[in-house]
Amino acid sequence: MAIAMEKINEALKLLEDAAKENKDQFLSATSGKFENLKGAILDEKGLKERLALAAHKAAEIAADIKDAAAEKTREIAGAIDQNVRKNPWPYVAGVAVGALMLGFILGRKSAK
């Protein structure tokens, strides 16, 4: 048992010595590597401001698109309304044919 403990202690000492030797190598290898990361972390406030500005611009663009779509829909609805008032019979016939087809399709499904 004492021999096993000595071997374990010897292995631990060997690991400790290797860690001390490699510590300096590790520090020198990583000393200048993370400057960009540090700068990005320090620039977090600027990033938040830029993201907030971009979100605000996107919301404005979405609102403009919504307004334009609503206006275009009103124009199309007005044009359709004028056409229906001038000549309503094609629209009445179209609705009648559509209702007939829908009734036929629904009637056949429920008969099975």
Q: Would residue 22 count as lying in a domain? A: yes
Q: Give every CB contact of residue 40 below 8 A, 6+ residues apart in sequence.
A: 47
> Strand, helix or coil at 88?
coil
The tokens for 18 are 């290797």
The domain total for the chain is 2
Domain identity same for 19 and 50: no
Domain identity same for 52 and 107: yes
Domain identity same for 49 and 11: no
Domain identity same for 8 and 47: no
Q: Is the pLDDT of residue 38 over 90?
A: no
CA 22 – CA 74 distance, rounded (Å) = 74
Domain identity same for 68 and 22: no
Domain identity same for 50 and 87: yes
Please say whether the beta carbons of 23 and 30 come within 8 A.
no
- The arithmetic mean of pLDDT across residues 21-49, rounded, is 68
Quickly state the pLDDT bin for 40 (edges 50, 70, 90): low
More confident residue, 25 or 69: 69
What is the extent of the structural domain holding 1? Answer: 1-33
Domain identity same for 103 and 53: yes
Domain identity same for 28 and 52: no
- The arithmetic mean of pLDDT across residues 87-97, rounded, is 94
Where does the chain have alpha helices with state H? Answer: 2-30, 35-42, 44-86, 89-111
